[in-house]
Amino acid sequence: MDSASPQADHLFREGSPGVLRRWSLVGLALALYLVAAKTHGRQLRLERELAGYWTVSFGGRNPPFVEALWHRERLIFWSLAAVFLLLTLVVRFAAPARVGRSVPGALLFHLVAPLTLAFVVSGLLSLYRFASSVQAGAATGPRPDDWLARAGWGSVAFWALTFVLGAAVVLVARRIRRGGLA
């Protein structure tokens, strides 16, 4: 279906063809957002634990290393989110017919997608820092013998889930766009 058609504004309205599938896309996108946020947070926790800081107080006082890690990560995350939001706005204005005009679609495209991408990219940067620190032997503080193996395999599982959900969102969105799931 051409998104410039009159039906494009009502893709999520009850009774529209494929409305359940389109709301399924919303559900998948929100699941991806939550998994990406969890994966990102997990990577930061592993960086913190590798440096020997096993407990923190959210909203409370923390060691300078932890505060610096979180401060740097907030700058990275929100900078990326702003860049991705600007990119979605450029796409919206450069090719409005391709993007469509539904409210749920706009929320996914201009809110959920930039935040999800920011979680993924900043999480991958954290994974890189973690792996670099492990390779450099920069781990400090005592930890269980199997901690590094469990941390590694846990990261593999979380990143795999993130990328599988991301692929599912892209595939479902493309199928809907082509009218295959309508």
In a domain, 15, yes or no: no
In a domain, 122, yes or no: yes
Q: Is the pLDDT of residue 12 over 70?
A: no
Print the domain residue range for 88: 21-178
Q: What is residue 15's predicted lDDT score, i.e. its pLDDT?
A: 52
Query: pLDDT band at 96, cuts 50/70/90?
Result: low
In 3D space, the residue among 181, 182, 177 whose CA is nearest the CA of residue 4 turns out to be 177
Tokens of 93: 């204005």
Q: What is residue 145's predicted lDDT score, i.e. its pLDDT?
A: 85
Read off the pLDDT of each residue in 8-32 and give the average, rounded to a whole number.
Answer: 71
Q: Is the pLDDT of residue 152 over 60?
A: yes
When comparing pLDDT for 19 and 122, which is higher? 122
Residue 24 to residue 154: CA distance in whole angstroms: 27
In a domain, 1, yes or no: no
In a domain, 168, yes or no: yes
CA atoms within 13 A on the CB side of 176: 25
Q: What is residue 5's predicted lDDT score, i.e. its pLDDT?
A: 44
**pTM reported for the whole predicted model:** 0.84
Condensed to tens digits (0 to 9), the pLDDT of residues 48-92 reads 999 999 999 998 999 999 999 999 999 999 999 999 999 999 988
Read off the pLDDT of each residue in 146-157 and give the average, rounded to a whole number.
Answer: 94
Which of the residue ranges 8-12, 43-47, 90-94 would you say has the lowest mean pLDDT? 8-12
In a domain, 167, yes or no: yes
Q: Is the pLDDT of residue 105 over 60?
A: yes
When comparing pLDDT for 4 and 141, which is higher? 141
Residue recorded with tokens 């990275």: 76
In a domain, 124, yes or no: yes
Handedness of CA 164, 168, 174, 180 (dihedral sign): positive
Q: Is the pLDDT of residue 98 over 70?
A: no
Q: What is residue 79's predicted lDDT score, i.e. its pLDDT?
A: 98
In a domain, 9, yes or no: no
Residue 141 to residue 149: CA distance in whole angstroms: 16
Handedness of CA 157, 33, 45, 86 (dihedral sign): positive
CA angle 7, 9, 13 (to 5 degrees): 80
Q: Is the pLDDT of residue 139 over 60?
A: yes
| Cα Rg of the chain, angstroms | 20
With a pLDDT cut of 90, the percent of the chain lying above it is 59
Residue 37 to residue 46: CA distance in whole angstroms: 14
Q: Count up the domains in the chain and report the number.
A: 1
In a domain, 8, yes or no: no
With beta carbons less than 8 A apart as the criterion, state whether 113 and 84 touch: yes
